[in-house]
Amino acid sequence: MKHEGHLKKAKAFEKRASRWDSDEEAPSVIEDIFDAVIHYLAYGINIKYARDIDSHNIQKRFLKERGEFDVYNTVNNMESLRIASVYGGAWNGERIRKALEHLDEAKEWIKKIGGSID
């Protein structure tokens, strides 16, 4: 997928995740935020390194190997939060807020590397 496609998908997942009414929606919202983070990272990797990497596991390894430790930690933390929330019993709005912080970190990385998400 071209980087524009990743950006479009990231924005769509982010938009969908922004519409939640109760803590019971946390697993679905966090899943959407996770998907947005992964597409934002794919977009950033494509811009900075001219590589198209969709898999979050490959993204993590790729980022770590290149010394991108801040954004590596972002995706790693987001993945842990996702697992605890989607597959575990951690369903609450505070987890959603934490996931949104990770989303902001991914977007900040894109700005840092010269990408635009607007």
* Per-residue three-class SS string for 50-117: CCCCCCHHHHHHHHHHCCCHHHHHHHHHHHHHHHHHHHCCCCCHHHHHHHHHHHHHHHHHHHHCCCCC
Does residue 79 surpass a pLDDT of 90?
Answer: yes
User: Considering the domain boundaries, does residue 117 fall inside one?
Assistant: no
- Residue 104's domain is classified under what CATH number? 1.20.120.330
Region of 61 (left: φ > 0; alpha: ψ -120 to 50; beta: rest) is: alpha
pLDDT for res 101: 96
Does 82 map to a domain? yes
Q: What is the pTM of this model?
A: 0.92
Q: What is the pLDDT of residue 11?
A: 93
Asked if residue 107 is part of any domain, the answer here is yes
Residue 55 within a domain: yes
Identify which has the larger pLDDT, 90 or 36. 36
Q: Is the pLDDT of residue 1 over 90?
A: no
Does 81 or 93 have the greater pLDDT score?
81
70 occurs within a structural domain: yes
State pLDDT tens for residues 20-70: 777 777 888 999 999 999 999 999 999 999 999 988 899 999 999 999 999
Flag whether pLDDT at 95 surpasses 90.
no
106-118 pLDDT, tens digit per residue, is 999 999 999 888 8
pLDDT on residue 20 = 77
Predicted local distance difference test score (pLDDT) of residue 24: 77
Quick check: is 60 in a domain?
yes
Domain contains 45: yes
- Report the domain count for the chain: 1
Domain limits for position 56: 3-112
